């Protein structure tokens, strides 16, 4: 193991692991899309891959299982959440196997809505306590730890990557002596995203994944793959979402603390906030219970819609080391709402560090901007919302919260082709 590498085979001791009924597993991967923008912002949707039940294709169209566990909008939606429930119903009507949304205002006002099914074979409905893979939402947890370390003067955001990880970022024009920790957190480093490598995408997001789903990806292997490409731009000259940035961030946390980034997240965030359903599984491929199933069309590109009659694969089990610090986290809608509420209300960061995190640059042509592991969304009704989205094989998620941390919303689809969840967001925060 190199001096910059955190253990890739760390035990899965952060929360329960459970055993899943179906065998699967494979590489997930966090961020996604390529969008050239001036300076900082956000556009990627956490990418990933999936495993299949004995390589079997899940039979049947989505519309039928969706009816097996209908959401009963009229009975379940209360007051101003009715529009939110209707938007959740619409996602399933459009072809998602199952969707959930959970809203929280303050400490006590909580609402949960669901539609479709957690399992295409049994038709059981999705539940509030079910865990799911939340992909790139992991990045906000990692950035929070980095900012806590900055407050403790254990590192500076102006330190170079090479200061902490000498010689790691080099080759084909990459130069870690010119890249700061702030730039890796806000995606202005220019470091190539390994999830955009064509061979990686074929391995991780096509049916080839079924042969590779249990492979372990060490951080050094991930960075080495990124270094075979040229950087996207000179450090600080532009903005581009890169999952490699957060692989590097995880390695810096280990170097600065002597502990794996996952252990620091557990110690500094999960335990103090009692986020007991949230885990960082390391190389454990099974989902902790309770959990439903996760589905993909394995089109070769995460979040690609595929054809309406494309076969579906159960991709629930996978080795999440391929996502690592960029996207391995497993959680629930309730835990994620509480995390982002605590973050934005100042319970996790001092004012100076929270100001650093929420300093963003707009992404041209969108209603988004990106800070340090945190995106800002301008809603149609003028509200500023903060959070992150996350995609991984078989799962698409988003959590957003108002600036004061009072009103939070978490969404999950148990499929990776669902696309943006804007309608649900607008319904909850703007009543549309």
Active site residue 136: yes
- Which residue, among 284, 282, 308, has the nearest Cα to 297 in the 3D structure? 308
Q: What are 173-181's contacts with CB under 8 Å, separation 24+?
A: 173/230, 173/231, 174/226, 174/227, 174/230, 174/231, 175/235, 178/234, 178/235, 179/235, 180/235, 181/146, 181/155, 181/156, 181/157, 181/249, 181/252
* Positive or negative torsion for Cα 220, 221, 224, 230: negative
As a whole number of angstroms, the distance between CA 181 and CA 190 comes to 12
Hey, what are 231's tokens?
Answer: 């950087």
Spatial separation of the C-alpha atoms in residues 101 and 96, rounded to whole Å: 14
Where does residue 3 rank: exposed (0-12), middle (13-18), buried (19+ CB within 10 A)? exposed
d(CA 393, CA 395): 6
* Helical (H) or strand (E) element with 2: none
Peptide bond into 265 cis (omega under 30): no
Q: Which residue has the tokens 């097996």?
A: 68
7 class by beta-carbon count within 10 Å (0-12 exposed, 13-18 middle, 19+ buried): middle
Question: Rounded to the nearest 5 degrees, what angle is found at the Cα of 214, between the Cα atoms of 209 and 219?
Answer: 100
| β-strand pairing of 57-58 with 312-314 | antiparallel
**Active-site annotation holder among 136, 285, 321, 397:** 136
Instruction: Give the catalytic positions in this structure.
Output: 136
């Amino acid at each position: 193991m190199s001096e910059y590498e955190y253990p890739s085979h760390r035990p899965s001791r952060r929360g329960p692991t459970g055993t899943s009924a179906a065998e699967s597993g494979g590489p997930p991967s966090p961020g996604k899309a390529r969008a050239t923008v001036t300076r900082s912002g956000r556009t990627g949707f956490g990418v990933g891959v999936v495993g299949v039940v004995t390589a079997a294709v899940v039979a049947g169209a989505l519309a039928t299982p969706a009816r097996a566990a209908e959401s009963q909008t009229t009975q379940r939606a209360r007051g101003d959440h009715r529009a939110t429930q209707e938007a959740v119903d619409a996602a399933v009507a459009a072809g998602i196997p199952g969707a959930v949304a959970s809203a929280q205002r303050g400490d006590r006002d909580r609402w949960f809505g669901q539609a479709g099914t957690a399992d295409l074979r049994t038709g059981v409905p999705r539940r509030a306590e079910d865990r799911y893979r939340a992909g790139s939402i992991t990045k906000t947890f990692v950035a929070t730890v980095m900012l806590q370390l900055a407050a403790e003067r254990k590192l500076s955001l102006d330190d170079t990557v090479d200061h902490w990880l000498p010689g790691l970022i080099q080759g084909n024009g990459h130069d870690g002596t010119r890249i700061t920790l702030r730039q890796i957190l806000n995606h202005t480093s220019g470091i190539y995203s390994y999830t955009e490598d064509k061979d990686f995408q074929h391995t991780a997001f096509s049916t080839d994944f079924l042969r590779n789903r249990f492979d372990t990806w060490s951080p050094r292997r991930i960075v080495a793959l990124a270094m075979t490409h040229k950087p996207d731009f000179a450090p600080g000259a532009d903005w581009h979402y890169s999952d490699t940035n957060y692989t590097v961030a995880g390695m810096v946390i280990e170097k600065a603390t002597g502990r794996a980034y996952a252990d620091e997240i557990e110690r500094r965030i999960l335990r103090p906030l009692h986020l007991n359903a949230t885990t960082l599984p390391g190389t454990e491929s099974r989902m902790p219970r309770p959990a439903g199933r996760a589905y993909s069309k394995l089109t070769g590109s995460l979040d690609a819609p595929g054809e309406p009659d494309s076969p579906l694969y159960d991709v629930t089990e996978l080795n999440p080391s391929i996502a690592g610090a960029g996207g391995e986290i497993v959680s629930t809608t309730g835990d994620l709402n509480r995390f982002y509420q605590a973050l934005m209300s100042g319970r996790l960061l001092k004012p100076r560090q929270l100001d650093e995190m929420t300093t963003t640059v707009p992404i041209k042509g969108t209603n988004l901007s990106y800070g340090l592991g945190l995106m800002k969304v301008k809603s149609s009704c003028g509200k500023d919302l903060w959070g992150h989205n996350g995609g991984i094989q078989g799962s698409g998620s988003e959590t957003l919260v108002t600036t004061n941390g009072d009103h939070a919303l978490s969404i999950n689809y148990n499929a990776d082709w669902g696309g943006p969840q804007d309608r649900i967001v607008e319904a909850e925060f703007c009543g549309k």
